[in-house]
Amino acid sequence: MKRTSPVLAAAFTAAVSLVSPALAGDFDGAYVGLGLTAGFNAPSVPDYEASAFIGYNWDFGNQMIAGGELDLTYNPNSLWAATPAATTTFDGRLGYLAREDVMVYGRAGGGYTSGGPGSYVWDLGIGAEYMMQNGLTVRGEFDRVDPFETGMDTQVNGRLGVVMNF
């Protein structure tokens, strides 16, 4: 039978405690997540996207939460081109705790898309997150993404995501 080194055991315990998920109802701190998006843009263009995001929230008290989020979205059949497109945005978020485990929020920001001829974009949206146990959150939101490039259409999306809060 192999014995584990006490130093290794202590290091493992410290590492696990540093990255342990947040308790239910705690939206303060870092988070990462994955999402799926369905676009409501044109009936002839199926617009589905997958995204990964990372962010940080600050709890300011009085049920107010503010934060920032970096999002990378991949679309295999972009509304802006018949080829795959990647869009990256950085958004500020402002939320309100409707309950200890429910946050409603608005978001706004900008970024860049490789779709079509490529363009800088601005975006805004609204959403809600429900904190389950062990820092796991589910969220849904609607957002609008507008390219600055003339001739590129506006995207209006419904998004669902799963978030791990730390």
The per-residue pLDDT for range 67-84, each reduced to its tens digit, is: 999 999 998 877 777 778
Report the amino acid identity of residue 22.
A
Residues contacting 60, CB < 8 A, separation 6+: 66
* pLDDT value at residue 135: 86
- Band of pLDDT at residue 25, cut at 50, 70 and 90: low
Give me the residue spans of the domains in the chain: 6-165
Q: Would you state the torsion angle of the CA atoms of residues 71, 94, 119, 157, taken in this order, to the nearest 10 degrees?
A: 70
- Band of pLDDT at residue 42, cut at 50, 70 and 90: low
Residue 6: phi, psi to the nearest 5?
A: -60, -35
Q: 3-state secondary structure string, 31-89? A: EEEEEEEEECCECCECCEEEEEEEEEEEEEECCEEEEEEEEEEEECCCCCCCCCEEEEE
Distance CA 21, CA 18 (A): 9
Distance CA 33, CA 124 (A): 19
Report the percentage of the chain scoring pLDDT > 90: 58
Question: Domain 6-165: which topology?
Answer: Porin (2.40.160)
* pLDDT value at residue 8: 47
| Residue 9 confidence (pLDDT) above 90 | no
Look at residues 88, 98, 96, 146 and name the one whose alpha carbon lies nearest to residue 122: 146
Distance of CA 32 to the CA centre of its chain: 7
* pLDDT value at residue 115: 85
Residue 7: phi, psi to the nearest 5?
A: -65, -45
Structure letter (DSSP) for residue 150: T
Please tell me whether the overall predicted TM-score, pTM, comes out greater than 0.85 for this model: no
Distance CA 9, CA 14 (A): 9
